């Protein structure tokens, strides 16, 4: 990744959403030929740091103590404007609005403190076919101020449903659907209709599908849905209770959490013989219908996969 | 026939402590909750002494200003820490003496062999204080919860009046007198004829001593920075008698010219948290942890302040003589005195009472005055006037600070260096303790 666009400041998410809507309208009118490849440049912003008031609100919304070390979910929200800037570029092949969040793979290589000056860099990779559209990965990295040390890396996988680009291989058959039999829950969340608005307020992610029934309907959903990152951040608030300096986690989303929702959650810890935490796996489902919402894992140490 | 065997009395020792810097209300910790701050202090203690994954015998801490949702504040902080989740914890509250009572109660359990290790602590936020709904609204809401039909619910709701909607904020007022702590102390300060100048001198010494302690890195192993603070934000290293003299009295203004208590010689509302690691000697030795001091003994006291027989904050003036008598000691047997500076007037009134012959004879039942202390041994590393006083966190600050001072001093005249801590508290209470160097 050699070419890059250097931003002078952290972009505004609300402007990005407006731009995304404008781009969507324009491309419908003027884009004659579909773009078939990802832009080759990364987008980077340097010398940025966390908003302490927002960090505190974020942690409190998740029910965890606000520490000087930034929570993983907050870091995702922190890099999100840069990641989104990648997706609103003129030559980005997929429409941003209506994109479905499939999974996250995140690695913490060192604690990030609220007072740290940071560089954030994001780019797109792996444009691939999916049985119901086209998927793409957005990689976001947080480095220290001079870019010499990688502190955090998050890979978000998104699906543009119904968008099929010529020349991309796609799986011809759907993955075998395994019947989900809910285990005994270890926790339950009651998510009110305001869950999306509350998370938007602390994360800055005001995607209309999360805000209200009306704004969600405008984008083709029957009701508003909780942010996937709200779920991830809330799991990570207590899994594990105390975070090691290096750890990695992943989450895969099966179905949207329409609000209001009662979410059942199972967390299973794996420990050494002396009781030291190694990893946890978690699964969540709709407490009433037993439809699976998401599952994932959190592990101590460094990830072996890219 | 088998009978229970108990290990009997053994020593309880102080391994060390950790606190976060104290911040003036509305400052660096304005949005930090009690749980945030207690967790930060606990995280730092766990890191300093390598306690990750360790099951501690018991953790006890508390907050004076506490949200009802924080009923298990201490246990929640433990669960959010790296301590083993099998560590039990409880909340306790004895106003400003909370941290002291936590240390004494847990030390007693260690002495009795019920536990081998413990963490005592305290936290308070005057910034993030609980605000409750008015008593009228509370009663209506509870009735609403009990109402069964829509008609009953509407009828209950119709009882709400505009005045019910104004919230109740906590205050430092005494419920039985309606006087704030400062107003109470102003009466005591006047009763013991403590001069404005003497109070300002004590305040100045507190700032100078605390600043000097920071400058020689005394607090490096007693403190973890939090929210960008690495020193107590109330500390004014450049304070002077001239600056203090300019401040107008804020308490006891009804006394007219006799009003002496200003914002400079009174402790401001503060946010912060502290923790202390306690252990049996064997537990500390097995982990190769330091032993700073022994918790020798402690005593709680209270005075009948309601109708003015004694000052609200004068309980330690009675508790210390009892504690020393029980241990066969006099004030001359101590190398350090930590007398909590709720107000400069509190410290000076206590010292005046001890030096007063009539008080000694009529109130303490002694032959004369209880005694006086060498002022060079008093609050030598500063105290609450400079550091601030997040109510429940002050005990842990004092215990850890004194334990380290005693350990550094070592032996005095062939005996371990000895220190006395005295903390006054709301409700006319106080808790005092004796520590000895290791």
Give the tens place of pLDDT for each residue, B251-296. Answer: 999 888 889 999 999 999 899 999 999 999 999 999 999 999 999 9
Chain A CB contacts of B226 under 8 Å are: 68
Mark yes or no for CB contact B36/A66 under 8 Å: yes
Residue of B32, B81, B225 with shortest CB distance to A242 = B81
Chain A CB contacts of B32 under 8 Å are: 56, 66
Provide the 8-state DSSP code for B292. Answer: -
- Give the 3-state secondary structure of residue A110: coil
pLDDT band, very low/low/confident/very high, at B133 (cuts 50, 70, 90) = confident
B317 in any annotated domain? yes
Residue A21 CB: number of other CB atoms within 10 A?
A: 15
- Give the 3-state secondary structure of residue A41: coil
Q: What per-residue confidence (pLDDT) applies to A208? A: 85
Distances A129 to A137, A170, B311, B402 between C-alpha atoms, Å: 12, 4, 80, 68
Q: What per-residue confidence (pLDDT) applies to B157? A: 85
Chain B CB contacts of A113 under 8 Å are: none
User: Cα separation of B223 and B19, whole Å?
Assistant: 5
Residue B38 Cα to chain centre, angstroms: 14
User: What dihedral angle (degrees, nearest 10) is formed by the CA atoms of A70, A71, A74, A79?
Assistant: 70
Q: What per-residue confidence (pLDDT) applies to A100? A: 87
Residue of A241, A275, A276 with shortest CB distance to B80 = A241
B74 touches chain A (CB under 8 A): no
B299 near B319, Cβ under 8 Å? yes
Mark yes or no for CB contact B52/A242 under 8 Å: yes
Interface test with B, best of A57, A237, A242, A274 (most B CBs within 10 A): A242
Distances B245 to B114, B191, B235 between C-alpha atoms, Å: 52, 21, 17
**Cα nearest neighbour of B225 on chain A:** A68
Q: Average pLDDT over chain B, rounded to whole?
A: 94
B376 in any annotated domain? yes
Three-state SS string over A58-79 comes to: HHHHCCCCCCCECCHHHHHHHH
Mark yes or no for CB contact B53/A52 under 8 Å: no
Mark yes or no for CB contact A57/B31 under 8 Å: yes
Interface test with A, best of B35, B42, B50 (most A CBs within 10 A): B35
B141 in any annotated domain? no
- Give the 3-state secondary structure of residue B429: strand
Interface test with A, best of B77, B228, B273 (most A CBs within 10 A): B228
B431 in any annotated domain? yes
Structure tokens at B91: 């909340």
**Cα nearest neighbour of A240 on chain B:** B80
* B1 or A48: which leads in pLDDT: A48
Q: Is residue A306 pLDDT above 60, yes or no?
A: no
Chain A CB contacts of B77 under 8 Å are: 65
Q: What per-residue confidence (pLDDT) applies to B295? A: 98
- Give the 3-state secondary structure of residue B228: coil
Residue B395 CB: number of other CB atoms within 10 A?
A: 32
As a whole number, mean pLDDT of residues A283-306 equals 90
Q: What per-residue confidence (pLDDT) applies to A5? A: 85
Chain B CB contacts of A64 under 8 Å are: 80
Q: Is residue B7 pLDDT above 90, yes or no?
A: no
Chain B CB contacts of A275 under 8 Å are: 53, 84
CA distance B201 to chain A (A): 37
Mark yes or no for CB contact B36/A65 under 8 Å: yes
pLDDT tens-digit series, residues A51-62: 999 999 999 999
Q: What per-residue confidence (pLDDT) applies to A283? A: 98
pLDDT tens-digit series, residues A117-158: 999 999 999 999 998 899 999 999 999 998 899 999 999 999
Q: What per-residue confidence (pLDDT) applies to B280? A: 98
A42 near A1, Cβ under 8 Å? yes
Chain B CB contacts of A116 under 8 Å are: none
As a whole number, mean pLDDT of residues A230-235 equals 97
Q: What per-residue confidence (pLDDT) applies to A107? A: 97
Category of A74 on φ-ψ map: left (φ > 0), alpha (ψ -120 to 50) or beta: alpha
As a whole number, mean pLDDT of residues B222-250 equals 96
Is the backbone peptide bond immediately before B274 cis, with ω within 30 degrees of 0? Answer: no
pLDDT band, very low/low/confident/very high, at A72 (cuts 50, 70, 90) = very high
Residue of A56, A65, A114 with shortest CB distance to B39 = A65
Q: What per-residue confidence (pLDDT) applies to B3? A: 67
CA distance A64 to chain B (A): 8
Residues of B annotated as catalytic (active site), given as ranges: 96, 389, 424
B346 in any annotated domain? yes
Q: Is residue A33 pLDDT above 80, yes or no?
A: no
Chain B CB contacts of A242 under 8 Å are: 43, 52, 80-82
CA distance A113 to chain B (A): 10
Interface test with A, best of B29, B39, B121 (most A CBs within 10 A): B39
B53 touches chain A (CB under 8 A): yes
Query: Which residues 97-136 in chain B show a CB within 8 A of chain A?
Result: none
pLDDT band, very low/low/confident/very high, at B1 (cuts 50, 70, 90) = low
**Cα nearest neighbour of A53 on chain B:** B31
Mark yes or no for CB contact A66/B32 under 8 Å: yes
Q: For position B325, which CATH number holds?
A: 3.40.47.10
Q: What per-residue confidence (pLDDT) applies to A134? A: 93
Interface test with A, best of B27, B37, B43 (most A CBs within 10 A): B43
A113 near A49, Cβ under 8 Å? no
Q: Is residue B132 pLDDT above 80, yes or no?
A: no
Q: What per-residue confidence (pLDDT) applies to B142? A: 87
Domain architecture of chain A: domains with CATH: 4-166+180-300 (3.10.129.10)
pLDDT tens-digit series, residues B331-354: 999 999 999 999 999 999 999 999
pLDDT band, very low/low/confident/very high, at A25 (cuts 50, 70, 90) = low
CA distance A297 to chain B (A): 19
Q: Is residue B438 pLDDT above 80, yes or no?
A: yes
pLDDT band, very low/low/confident/very high, at A2 (cuts 50, 70, 90) = low
**Number of domains chain B contains:** 1
**Cα nearest neighbour of A52 on chain B:** B227
CA distance A51 to chain B (A): 12
Q: Tell me the sheet residues that pair with A100.
A: A159
Q: Is residue A28 pLDDT above 60, yes or no?
A: no
Q: Is residue B172 pLDDT above 80, yes or no?
A: no
B22 touches chain A (CB under 8 A): no
CA distance A74 to chain B (A): 16
Chain B CB contacts of A274 under 8 Å are: 53
pLDDT tens-digit series, residues A83-114: 999 998 888 999 887 788 999 999 999 999 99
Mark yes or no for CB contact B53/A276 under 8 Å: yes
Residue with tokens 């008598």: B325
**Residues 6 or more apart from B362 whose CB is under 8 A from it?**
none
Q: Average pLDDT over chain A, rounded to whole?
A: 89
Least confident of A169-183, B170-184, B185-199: A169-183
Residue of B39, B53, B84 with shortest CB distance to A67 = B39
Nearest-10 crossing angle of helices A52-61, A72-87: 110
Q: Tell me the sheet residues that pair with A188.
A: A264
Q: Is residue B128 pLDDT above 70, yes or no?
A: yes
User: What is the helix (H) or strand (E) element at residue A135, kind and residue range?
Assistant: strand A133-144
Q: Is residue A21 pLDDT above 80, yes or no?
A: no
Residue of B52, B80, B82 with shortest CB distance to A65 = B80
What value of ipTM does the predicted structure carry?
0.87
B194 in any annotated domain? yes
Q: What per-residue confidence (pLDDT) applies to B327? A: 97
> What would the DSSP string read from start to end of B149-178?
SHHHHHHHHTT--GGGGSPBPP-SB-TTT-
As a whole number, mean pLDDT of residues B216-222 equals 97
* B50 or A40: which leads in pLDDT: B50
B270 in any annotated domain? no
Could you tell me the pTM of the whole model?
0.91
B425 near B172, Cβ under 8 Å? no
Chain A CB contacts of B27 under 8 Å are: none
Domain span at residue B335 reads 181-217+297-437
B169 touches chain A (CB under 8 A): no
* Cα atoms in the 13 Å half-sphere on the side-chain side of B119: 35
B366 touches chain A (CB under 8 A): no
As a whole number, mean pLDDT of residues B84-97 equals 96
**Cα nearest neighbour of A239 on chain B:** B80
Distances A191 to A54, A197, B175 between C-alpha atoms, Å: 21, 11, 40
B149 in any annotated domain? no
User: Cα separation of A52 and A40, whole Å?
Assistant: 34
B79 touches chain A (CB under 8 A): yes
Q: Is residue B409 pLDDT above 80, yes or no?
A: yes
């Amino acid at each position: 990744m050699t070419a890059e666009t250097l931003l002078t400041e952290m972009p505004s998410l609300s402007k990005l959403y407006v731009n995304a809507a404008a781009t969507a309208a324009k491309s419908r009118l003027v884009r004659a030929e579909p773009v078939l490849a990802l832009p080759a440049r990364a987008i980077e912003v340097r010398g940025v740091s966390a908003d302490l008031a927002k960090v505190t609100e974020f942690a409190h919304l998740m029910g965890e103590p606000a520490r000087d070390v930034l929570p993983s979910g907050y870091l995702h929200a922190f890099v999100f404007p840069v990641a989104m800037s990648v997706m609103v570029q003129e030559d980005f092949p997929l429409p941003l609005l209506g994109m479905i969040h499939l999974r996250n793979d995140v690695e913490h290589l060192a604690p990030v403190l609220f007072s740290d000056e940071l560089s954030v860099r994001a780019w797109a990779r792996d444009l691939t076919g999916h049985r119901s559209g086209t998927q793409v990965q957005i990689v976001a990295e947080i480095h220290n101020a001079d870019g010499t040390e990688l502190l955090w890396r998050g890979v978000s996988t998104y699906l543009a449903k119904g968008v099929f680009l010529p020349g991309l291989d796609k799986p011809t058959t759907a993955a075998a659907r395994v019947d989900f039999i809910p285990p005994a829950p270890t926790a339950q969340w009651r998510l009110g209709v305001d869950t999306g608005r509350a998370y938007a307020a602390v994360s800055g992610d005001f995607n209309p599908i999360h805000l209200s029934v009306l704004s969600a309907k405008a984008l083709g959903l029957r009701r508003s849905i909780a942010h996937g990152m709200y779920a991830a951040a809330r799991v990570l608030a207590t899994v594990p209770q105390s975070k090691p300096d290096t750890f990695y986690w992943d989450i895969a989303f099966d179905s949207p959490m329409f609000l209001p929702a009662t979410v059942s959650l199972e967390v299973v810890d794996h420990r050494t013989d002396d009781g030291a935490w190694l990893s946890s796996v978690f699964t969540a489902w709709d407490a009433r219908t037993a439809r699976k919402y998401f599952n994932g894992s959190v592990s101590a140490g460094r990830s072996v996969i890219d | 026939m088998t009978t229970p065997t108990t290990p009997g009395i053994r020593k309880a020792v102080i391994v060390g402590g950790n606190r976060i810097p104290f911040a003036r209300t509305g400052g660096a910790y304005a949005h930090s909750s009690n749980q945030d701050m207690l967790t930060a202090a606990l995280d730092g203690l766990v890191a300093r002494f390598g306690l990750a994954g360790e099951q501690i015998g018991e953790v006890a801490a508390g907050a004076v200003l506490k949200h009802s949702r924080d009923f298990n504040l201490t246990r929640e902080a433990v669960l959010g820490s790296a301590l083993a989740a099998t560590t039990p914890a409880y909340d306790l509250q004895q106003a400003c003496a909370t941290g002291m009572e936590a240390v004494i109660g847990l030390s007693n359990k260690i002495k009795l062999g019920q536990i081998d290790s413990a963490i005592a602590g305290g936290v308070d936020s005057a910034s993030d204080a609980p605000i409750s709904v008015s008593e009228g609204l509370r009663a209506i809401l509870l009735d609403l919860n009990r109402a069964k039909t829509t008609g009953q619910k509407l009828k209950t709701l119709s009882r709400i009046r505009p005045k019910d909607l104004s919230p109740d904020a906590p205050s430092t007022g005494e419920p039985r007198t309606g006087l704030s702590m400062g107003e109470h102390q102003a009466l005591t300060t006047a009763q013991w004829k403590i001069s404005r100048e003497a109070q300002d001198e004590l305040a100045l010494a507190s700032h100078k001593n605390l600043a000097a302690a920071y400058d020689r890195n005394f607090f490096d192993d007693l403190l973890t920075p939090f929210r960008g603070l690495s020193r107590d934000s109330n500390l004014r290293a450049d304070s002077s008698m001239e600056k203090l003299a300019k401040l107008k009295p804020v308490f006891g203004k009804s006394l007219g010219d006799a009003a002496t208590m200003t914002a400079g010689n009174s402790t401001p509302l503060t946010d912060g948290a502290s923790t202390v690691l306690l252990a049996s000697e064997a537990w500390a030795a097995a982990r190769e942890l330091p032993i700073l001091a022994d918790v020798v003994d402690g005593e709680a006291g209270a005075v009948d302040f309601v109708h003015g027989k004694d000052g609200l904050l004068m309980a330690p003036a009675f508790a210390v003589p009892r504690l020393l008598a029980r241990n066969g000691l006099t004030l001359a047997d101590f190398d350090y005195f930590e007398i909590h500076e709720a107000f400069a007037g509190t410290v000076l009134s206590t010292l005046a009472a001890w030096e007063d012959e009539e008080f000694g004879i009529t109130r303490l039942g002694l032959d004369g005055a209880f005694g006086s202390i060498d002022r060079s041994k008093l609050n030598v590393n500063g105290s609450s006037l400079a550091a601030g006083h997040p109510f429940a966190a002050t005990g842990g600050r004092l215990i850890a600070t004194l334990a380290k001072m005693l350990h550094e001093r070592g032996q005095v005249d062939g005996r371990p260096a000895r220190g006395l801590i005295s903390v006054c508290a709301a409700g006319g209470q106080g808790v005092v303790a004796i520590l000895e160097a290791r």
